[in-house]
Amino acid sequence: MTPITEQNVLITGATDGLGRALAHELAAQGATLILHGRSAAKGEELIEELRSATGNDRLSYELADFSSLEEIRGLADRIVATYPRLDVLVNNAGLGVELERQVSKDGHELTFQVDYLAPYILSCRLAGLLAESAPARIVNVTSAGQAPLDFDDVMLERDWDGGQAYCQAKLAEIMLTIDLAEQLEGTGVTVNALHPSSYMPTKIVVHLFSPQSTVAEGVEHTLRLVTGTELSDVTGAYFNRSTRARAHAQAYDPAARARLREISEDLTGVVFSG
């Protein structure tokens, strides 16, 4: 495994919550960080905060609004064009349980786009760079809250529910994890997903739920998938915190995953590819 001081790590959703705390930990360990967010002001604040706290100046910030497929694709293209290597992609950015149905700039149900289609695009478009940098890892931050997709109404136009929107998007991300692990077998790129911790006190939680765990717990479990040497050869797995676990049954249905890949390609214009 490449020493962390020689790794380039991309963290999406790095300006708040788990992503911000993970950035602090990895910056302190000496990683080169590519930090993503959708606010230029928050990005500048984060970079200064990390430099001051850790002394690490190998930090950059990439702006992209995941409500736009064009901006997600643009982020992937900039990473490939700008950085000679990518050792870890942490797909962390996401919405929580929303109170009202929203649509993206592309007309898609917003939670599905931000929580699933963004990781799909980034993972597919960055797979080549990750393979060239191998050993490398993709870490998908998902949830123990999972619900099966109705492929006839993925955008929940008939019966939208915030819980269903969140839980189906997180299950879709686990399905992507399994497919990518199979696709990238033999390249030196591992792909794993985790539920980092339950109801951490982050902005996507506190407006609806009482916190039950700390952000530090979530960072500990996520960091293990990023840097843990014992997981070097583990791929296609779902972890509940630090324990390998079984996801919802639909994740292990090859026909369901094939249907999801077809829908993903149609919605994003990005062909599933490793």
Q: Which residues are catalytic?
A: 166
Residue 195: what are its φ and ψ, rounded to 5°?
Answer: -95, 105
Amino acid (one-letter) located at 86: L
Instruction: Report which of 20, 21, 26 is spatially closest to residue 3, judged by C-alpha positions.
Output: 26
Residue 237 contacts residue 178 (beta carbons within 8 Å): no
For the four alpha carbons of 3, 181, 168 and 114, in that order, the dihedral sign comes to: positive
CA distance 249 to 89: 26
Cβ count near 243 (within 10 Å)? 10
Closest CA to 94 of 21, 170, 174, 42: 170
Rounded Cα distance between 104 and 98, Å, is: 14
DSSP, collapsed to helix, strand or coil, labels residue 60 as: strand
Q: Residue 181, Cα to own-chain centre: how many angstroms?
A: 15
- Given a contact cutoff of 8 angstroms between Cβ atoms, the answer to whether 112 and 165 are in contact is yes
Quick one: the chain helix, strand, coil %, rounded to 5? 45, 15, 40
Query: Cis link prior to 211 (omega < 30° from 0)?
Result: no
